[in-house]
Amino acid sequence: MGDEELAKDLGLVSAMMIGIGTMVGAGIFVLPGIAAREAGPIVVLSFVIGGMIAMINALAVSELGTAMPKAGGGYYYINRALGPMFGSVSGMGDWMGLAFASAFYCIGFGGYLTGLFDGTALALPTLDLGLFVLQDIQIGGLIAGVIFIGVNYIGAKETGGIQTIIVSSLLVILAVFSFSGLFYFDWGTVITDGSVAPLGTTEILPGTALVFVSFLGYAKIATVAEELKNPGRNLPIAIIGSVGIVTVIYAIIVGLMVGIVPYDQLSEEVPVSQVSEITFGALPTLGAGPLSLSLSAIGVTGITVAALLATASSANASILSSARINFAMGRDKIVTDWLNEIHPEYATPYRSIALTGGMIILFIVALGQDLKILSSAASVLHLIVYGLMNVALITFREADVPGYDPDFRVPFYPITPVLGLLLSFGLVWFMDAEVIALSMAFVVAALLWYLFYARGETTEDGVLSQYILERSEEMPDAAVSAAEAASPDETRPYRVMVPLANPRTEGTLLDLASTIAQERENGIVHAVHIVQVPDQTPLNRGAEQLDRIDSESEKQLQRARERIAETDVEIETSTILSHRSFEEIFDAARQFKADKVVMGWGGGRPWSAGRAERPIDELTHDLPCDFLVLKDRDFDPSKILIPTAGGPDSDLSAEIARTLRSAVGSEISLLHVVDGEDEREAGEQFLANWAADHGFGDAVLRVDDSGDVEGAIADAAEDHTLVLLGATERGLLSRLVNRSLTFEVVDTVDASVILAERPSDRSLFQRLFGRQ
Amino acid sequence: MHEDTFDRVLVPIASEQDAESTCEALLEYLPENGAQVHVVHVIEKAGGAPDKASVSQREERAERIFEHCRSVLGETAISLETEILYGTSVAETLLDHAQSIDASAVVFTPRGASRWVKLLTGSVTENLLTGTDRPIVVLPQED
The answer on pLDDT for B114 being more than 90 is no
- What chain B residue is nearest to A327 in terms of C-alpha separation? B57
- The string of pLDDT tens digits covering residues A96-127 is 999 999 999 999 898 888 888 876 766 777 77
- The string of pLDDT tens digits covering residues A212-256 is 999 988 888 988 888 888 889 999 999 999 999 999 999 999 999
pLDDT of residue A762: 46
Mean pLDDT of chain B: 82
Please tell me which of the candidates B15, B45, B53 has its beta carbon nearest to residue A323: B53
Between chains, do B58 and A227 touch, taking CB under 8 Å as contact? no
Three-state secondary structure string covering chain B: CCHHHHCEEEEECCCHHHHHHHHHHHHCCCCCCCCEEEEEEEEECCCCCCCCCCHHHHHHHHHHHHHHHHHHHCCCCCEEEEEEEEECCHHHHHHHHHHHCCCCEEEECCCCCCHHHHHHHCCHHHHHHHHCCCCEEECCCCC
Average pLDDT of span A704-725 = 82
CA separation for the pair A490, A88 (Å, rounded): 17
Mean pLDDT of chain A: 81
Average pLDDT of span A45-52 = 94
Among A16, A339, A346, most B C-beta atoms within 10 A, so best to mutate, is A346
pLDDT of residue A212: 93
Between chains, do B54 and A71 touch, taking CB under 8 Å as contact? yes
β-strands B36-44, B79-87 pairing: parallel
The answer on pLDDT for A627 being more than 90 is no
pLDDT of residue A772: 36
A647 reaches B (C-beta below 8 A):
no
CA separation for the pair A402, A575 (Å, rounded): 28
Residue A763 gets the label, from left (phi > 0), alpha (psi -120 to 50) or beta, of: beta
| Residues in chain A within 8 Å Cβ distance of B16 | 344
A9 reaches B (C-beta below 8 A):
yes
Q: Is A742 helix (H, G, I), strand (E, B) or coil?
A: coil
The terminus-to-terminus CA distance of chain B in angstroms comes to 25
A227 reaches B (C-beta below 8 A):
yes
Residue B131 burial by Cβ neighbours in a 10 Å radius (0-12, 13-18, 19+): middle
- The string of pLDDT tens digits covering residues A190-200 is 887 777 777 87
Among A1, A5, A8, A10, most B C-beta atoms within 10 A, so best to mutate, is A10
pLDDT of residue B10: 92
The answer on pLDDT for A730 being more than 50 is no
Please tell me which of the candidates B49, B52, B122 has its beta carbon nearest to residue A160: B49
CA separation for the pair A233, A16 (Å, rounded): 12
Among A9, A75, A76, A321, most B C-beta atoms within 10 A, so best to mutate, is A9
Please tell me which of the candidates B17, B84, B121 has its beta carbon nearest to residue A344: B17
pLDDT of residue A533: 66
Among B54, B94, B100, most A C-beta atoms within 10 A, so best to mutate, is B54
A583 reaches B (C-beta below 8 A):
no
Chain centroid, CA A167 distance in Å: 33
The whole-model pTM stands at 0.68
- What chain A residue is nearest to B120 in terms of C-alpha separation? A156
Q: What is the CA radius of gyration of chain B?
A: 15
pLDDT of residue A249: 93
pLDDT of residue A155: 79
* ipTM value for the complex: 0.86
B79 reaches A (C-beta below 8 A):
no
Check: CB of residue A311 under 8 Å from CB of residue A105. Answer: yes
A226 reaches B (C-beta below 8 A):
yes
- How far A467 CA sits from the closest chain B CA (Å)? 29
Please tell me which of the candidates B44, B84, B120 has its beta carbon nearest to residue A347: B44
Between chains, do A344 and B18 touch, taking CB under 8 Å as contact? yes
The answer on pLDDT for A740 being more than 60 is no
Most confident of A172-181, A231-240, A460-469: A231-240
Please tell me which of the candidates A7, A161, A346 has its beta carbon nearest to residue B86: A7
Between chains, do B58 and A347 touch, taking CB under 8 Å as contact? yes
| Residues in chain B within 8 Å Cβ distance of A98 | none
- How far A312 CA sits from the closest chain B CA (Å)? 15
Average pLDDT of span A353-373 = 92
- Beta bridge pairs of residue A670: A642, A701
Please tell me which of the candidates B55, B88, B113 has its beta carbon nearest to residue A227: B55
Confidence of residue A51 (pLDDT cuts 50, 70, 90): very high
B49 reaches A (C-beta below 8 A):
yes
Confidence of residue A5 (pLDDT cuts 50, 70, 90): low
Among B45, B51, B97, B114, most A C-beta atoms within 10 A, so best to mutate, is B51
The answer on pLDDT for A707 being more than 80 is no
Between chains, do B113 and A345 touch, taking CB under 8 Å as contact? yes
pLDDT of residue A726: 74
Most confident of A23-37, A42-56, A528-542: A42-56
CB pairs under 8 A between A and B: 114
pLDDT of residue A383: 95
Please tell me which of the candidates A6, A14, A349 has its beta carbon nearest to residue B49: A14
